[in-house]
Structure 1
Amino acid sequence: MIIQNIQSFIHGLHLDPLIIIGVIVLLGIYFGKGAKLIHLPSIIGFMVLGVLLGPSLLGVLSGEFQESIGFITEIALSFVAVSIGLELSFASLKKQGGGIVLTIFTESFMAFILVSVLMYLLTRDLALSILFGAIAPASAPAGTVAIIQEYRTKGPLTKALFAVVGFDDGLGIIVFGFAAAFAKSILSAEMGMETGSFVSLMSGPLMEVGLSLLVGSLNAVIFIFLGRFLKTGRDLFLLLFAMVFLSAGLSIMFHMSVILTNMVLGIVIVNTQPQNFVEKIHEELTQIMPLLFILFFVLAGSNLHISALPELGLIGLVYIAGRATGLISGASFGAWAGRLPVSIRKYLGLGILSQAGVAIGLALIVKKELAEFGAHGAEIGDIIITTVSATSIFFEIIGPVLAKFALTKAGEIRKTA
């Protein structure tokens, strides 16, 4: 009753969105500081603030408000993606050897296989199980990047984390596209619908990935050409700012992956330009990231509804256990087989458990696209969106904490941080 009265009072104020954004940033600064005082990453403080301001409690961040500023999430994910891309130097990957590539494949596919198998043993629903498995490899790069930037970590584990959280999302998006097509073919057969050839089912995801790679590359070429006429890091950043927005807008307009498109933008830049050119961009980019992290994680926290926790159930527990076990064991095995440093073998898996934006986005796609496949399709969509949203609460709390723990044990967090 008290919470409802507070929500009614706040709604009656009719706060302008700019006031709410100002409050988010203002309180976010101190919630982040508060989290650090108890030795937690600041993004935990941002997410707690999001839950407090969200529909579950005070209701400041109402569904209507979140819909009106949904573009902020896209912007934040876009800048996180380009910052990851700017770290993915092929020369650096070559120094790490083929082991890191092997590790990306083993951790992604181990999570996919383990979650799919466990879900099938529990539910006996192949379409549902395959889709859960396909969402499992998706990480939350924002969480990992935030920890790395906040504590200014350096070392082999840091480089491996940048590579893995970047490329496993790209790989995860590709795997999801094929899994979704397979699930649709199963549901179509159940309904007696014409499924078409397997090749025709695969054309959609292949087109999405191909267009994302093409648009990201073309925008990088435009950036590089125009950047030749600019000298200062500030001017280069403003140009990058424009290209990131352009990439994000085109991705949304033509149903491409915002993350993949902007990641490719960063990858092309870092692999074709001199190091001092890239460093100028980095210096400016790191200035805006803290603001984006506050906005992104507060909004993410507001979507973590407390009421969803009791609905987690056995499916949620199996998903959590299967995903965590698959990622940790897959990363460890890949690093061992690829003869990577001991710190990577021991701790890489602990640093890639965060899951939120990308996974929730994929879950929303499932809910939307499977609604046309009758009651079973709608049921699968509801189960997946509820479970992934609820388990994100767990992974977004435990993920950054374990990432910090892993980087600390690997000796890559500075004592002054």
Structure 2
Amino acid sequence: MLEQIFEHIFPLQMNYPMIFGMFMILGVVGGLVATRVAWLPTISGFMLVGLLMGPEGAKVINSEIITQAGYLVQISLGLILYKLGCSLHPEHVVKHPKIIFVSIIESAVTFLSIFLLLVFFGYSTIVSVLVAAIGISSSPAVLVHVASEMRAKGEVTENTKILVALNNLISFLVFSTALPFALYSTEATWSDIFGIPAYRMIGGFAIATLMAFGVTWLAKFLQPKTFHFVFPLILGGIMLTLGINNALQMSFLFSCLVFGIMVRWFEDKKNQITQTDFGYAEDIFYIILFVTAGASLHVQELVTAGWIAMLFPLVRCAAKYLVLTGSTRALEYNFKQSSATGMLLMPMAGMAIGLLQTTNSLIPAIGAQVAILIFAAVAVLETLGPPIAKFAFKISGEADGGAVKALVVVPNPPEESSADTSNPEPPSATKNPD
């Protein structure tokens, strides 16, 4: 009997609890190492340990494990994009047109700079357009996590979240506009050329809107004593948005971003669920995402791409930085604030990888050329991006040593806000006092 057990368990097969536990422990080790280096954010530690343990290192995390962790990574990205979308209230953006103008100019300059660079190096027009469209996007995960870690609060932080959200929206829209031309080059049918991009965009938007309406409607029934249900409510909405999009072969990244925007738009002003801080629970998702990102880094692509692997991210970052520093007066910033904003737009990963996967699935021949450039750029920008982001928050003047994060911050009910505070109640179990 014992021999039969050993026959079935060896060689040992990794399962989801083992993968999840291994990523958590490795991530904590990497984070602890990173905290000992003043200029290094913890996500760099997560990525470093993933790189060392991944296929490019000790091979403890192999390609099969990375594939199995795919759904965990998607949930993590979905949560991060939701949080980013929550910062983009349509009403607020309309009332501040300067930020839209700056975002459009920055996206256009970034697109043209990358496009001209790739054409100069002999890449085809369609490959150059697709890569340039993807290059507009910025990494929400780096921004959101480093901002949380630095406890950054203020105008620069909030406006940068809006700019990153707009970057990703514009990137998706430009990519979707270019996709019909890419499909046309492969002799696809007219229904596919126009139908696929429209289906993915309109469908993703509709799913996000319906899900946001449902979540905000349920949230109206939450009271202070039951507000701790907000985390499973939002996470459930994100997972349903993600799952339905995957089942219907739509873009879950775009849909999760729109989900955050629409939740912010639909929410009850007396019960603002988008202002909820998920606290320590967020670390789980960041660890999964960045340990996997580190293990997935394609170092070999840097060699394959050659000089373009360095020039592409350099030109992209320069375009974003120069436009933002040139917008100092328009944004009513000082030079340090505009410099910090330009630096915070430099990291690139989540949306870029998602759009690359779309290219690979629809147009494999073109996707192979795009992949070399995008993977090389991500390897550079995800490695250098987090330390640059940490430095940016420092020079912005918004890094703050605020309070320890609570698991869920419960808003005070309106009727209690003006109550007598001479005999304050003890803090609730969901709060961590200063």
* Residue identity matched to 1:59: K
Give the secondary structure class of the aligned counterpart of 2:373.
helix
CA 1:156 to 1:63, structure 2 compared with 1: closer, same or farther past 3 Å?
same
For residue 304 of structure 1, the aligned residue among 287, 293, 297 is 297
Shift of 1:12: 4.9
1:212 aligns with 2:204: yes
Report the equivalent of 1:282.
276
The worse-fitting range, judged by mean Cα deviation, of 39-48 and 120-129 is 120-129
Residue number in structure 2 paired with 1:110: 109
Q: TM-score, length-normalised on structure 1?
A: 0.86
**1:257 counterpart = 2:256:** no
* 1:48-67 pair list within 5 angstroms: 48-67=48-67
Answer 1 or 2: which has greater helix percent.
Answer: 1
**Aligned-pair distance for 1:344?**
4.3
Could you tell me how far apart the structure 1 residues matched to 2:276 and 2:123 are? 49
1:70 and 2:67 aligned: no
Describe how 1:171-182 pairs up with structure 2 within 5 A: 171-182=170-181
Q: Between Structure 1 and Structure 2, whose CA radius of gyration is higher?
A: 2
Determine the structure 2 residue equivalent to 1:166: 165
Identify unmatched segments of 5+ residues in structure 1. Answer: 1-10, 372-377
Shifted more, 319-328 versus 149-158: the winner is 319-328
Deviation at 1:405, TM superposition (A): 1.4
Q: Distance in 1 between matches of 2:182 and 2:324?
A: 27
Of 313-322 and 273-282, the range deviating more from structure 2: 273-282
Equivalence map 1:3-402=2 (5 Å): 12-39=11-38, 40-93=40-93, 97-185=96-184, 187-188=185-186, 193=187, 196=190, 201-231=193-223, 232-275=226-269, 277-278=271-272, 282-283=276-277, 285-333=278-326, 335-336=327-328, 338-342=330-334, 343-371=336-364, 378=365, 380-402=366-388
Equivalent residues of 1:300, 1:357 under 8 A apart: no
For 2:121, what is the secondary structure of its paired residue? helix
Letter in 2 for 1:214: A
Give distance in 2, aligned partners of 1:31 and 1:175: 37
Are the aligned partners of 2:89 and 2:265 in contact in 1 as well (CA < 8 Å)? yes
Secondary structure (helix, strand or coil) at the match of 1:123 reads coil
Task: Give the deviation of 1:54 after TM superposition.
Answer: 1.0
**1:212-267 Cα deviation digits (max 9, x unpaired):** 22211111111122222222221122221211111111111122222222222222
Which runs of no fewer than 5 residues in structure 2 stay unpaired? Answer: 1-9, 404-434
Please tell me whether residue 414 in structure 1 is matched to residue 400 in structure 2: yes
Identity over aligned residues, as a percent? 25
Residue 5 of structure 1 is matched in structure 2 by none
Q: Distance in 2 between matches of 1:266 and 1:369?
A: 27
Opposite residue 261 of structure 1, the aligned amino acid is: S
Q: CA deviation at 1:92?
A: 4.2
* TM-score, length-scaled by structure 2: 0.83
Q: Report deviation, 1:398.
A: 1.4
Q: Distance in 2 between matches of 1:364 and 1:85?
A: 22
Letter in 2 for 1:57: G
Task: Decide whether the 8 Å contact of 1:237 with 1:281 is kept in 2.
Answer: no
Deviation at 1:79, TM superposition (A): 0.4
